[in-house]
Structure 1
């Protein structure tokens, strides 16, 4: 039985981890409202000019547009492929199911740098130039394990007897999937799309290797942080963090609804 001291110690470690994770974000949020261009204490005053500057920067807005052009199709492709893999793993009898599971989850286990270098070498051997489509392909592979697990968790909670009842009433496999399984998967599909969108918009390692002259916002912000640490970049970073948290929260809300 866990003693009171052990319980306090466990909660203390949890709070330490949370502090180490979110303290840098809190510091960025503080300096994004600081009126001084120098990112240092003490603070000089409160201002929202850095947000106005970030939202009127054409270069950064162009990077944001490219981020959407990459994240939307990446989320769509990874959600569709993840749903197909989840159906194969949970709904249909097949040999070597474990090998399929390992194959799907492999991008999650391999370091992204190794995946990025391997994909870059493959593109060079095939004579394919780097573009937005190479970013989409690379990110889809990396995000596929997450969308597969989300959809599989939804499918595992769907009662198989509902499909069996549809078969007994004369429905074909396609009709049963369209009229029974797919509507029950809807919330899981939406949740996996939101999660994939957030992961794609925040991806840096693969994007930096696979992008050409067209660079999404994550590359631009990382480059600016290397050479020019401005409070405007802090404001952009904070807006991205808040947007990603909102999308993840919405996706989690949809996933929880699908479990009821």
Structure 2
């Protein structure tokens, strides 16, 4: 299987080569993004706080990502709980319809939402980006939380109810702590997706662009590219950290329920 290993290595190089080049040029002492490198510098990182529009876009993206994470995880908890515990008419089609944004092209989702919002006469702004991001992040949260609720032993809830707890208090005191690692993983994943998402934000943003939209606009100015590279390096590191934390939370949840790890979030 030597050829298969070689293919895997070439595929990974093709996939991650741009990310590897990002920090290289972020520390390059030149505004020209090309080899050979002219020298080492941290100047571009120090210029990030001195760009008010950039700082504002970061604040906007963080607020939108936090709001999206809370909303999509809350909706994911409700849907995953209903799918794992209850039986109701048209259960499979309804759950499949909820998961549809996973396979729909984001450009279709963005244009459709833009048409609807303009037809209703609603102004574009941060809240419309939150709606769009919640729509695409909720299926990811459901996919993560499905396994958390499916692996939960129902006898634990039944025992709590037999001992006098209400269904609400049982869910709050027993169920939520057991699935909390899955909830944390879902929030971290949705936060990362929202923070990095561009297409929906590009179509639905108002006067306050998110960070990806702002960076896209700055690519027209070559002298701004090194600062963009520096910020991109920070975002890549942040995304990797969040994904590692999400994976640790997911594995901790599987360990607490005694379920065998099948690998990966989905």
Give the Cα–Cα distance (whole angstroms) in 1 for the partners of residues 97 and 8 of structure 2. Answer: 33
The correspondence for 1:242, drawn from 228, 237, 246, is 237
- Give the equivalent residue in structure 2 for 1:168: 162
The CA deviation string for residues 151-188 of structure 1, in whole angstroms up to 9 with x for no partner, is: 11111111111112223223332222122111111111
Deviations 1:198-241 (A, max 9, x none): 00000100000000111011111111124436211111111111
1:212 corresponds to which residue?
206
- When normalised by structure 2's length, the TM-score is 0.92
Q: Distance in 1 between matches of 2:188 and 2:141?
A: 10
Q: Which runs of 5+ in 1 are unaligned?
A: 1-5
What's the counterpart of residue 224 of structure 1? 218
- Residue 72 in structure 1 maps to residue 69 in structure 2: no
Match of 1:109 in 2: 103
Unaligned runs of 5+ residues in structure 2 are: 256-266
Q: Taking structure 1 as the reference length, what is the TM-score of the superposition?
A: 0.94
Matched, 1:47 2:29: no
2:152 & 2:119 partners in 1: Cα distance? 44
Classify the secondary structure of the residue corresponding to 1:142.
helix
User: Does 2:26 align with 1:29?
Assistant: no
Match of 1:196 in 2: 190
Q: Equivalents in 2 of 1:15, 1:101: separation in Å?
A: 37
In the TM superposition, structure 1's runs of 4+ consecutive aligned residues that sit over 6 Å from their partners are: none
**In 2, distance between residues paired with 1:105 and 1:136?**
18
- CA RMSD in angstroms comes to 1.2
User: Alignment length, in residue pairs?
Assistant: 254
Residue 19 (structure 1) shift: 0.7
1:15 aligned to which of 3, 9, 20 = 9
Moved more, 219-228 or 106-115: 219-228
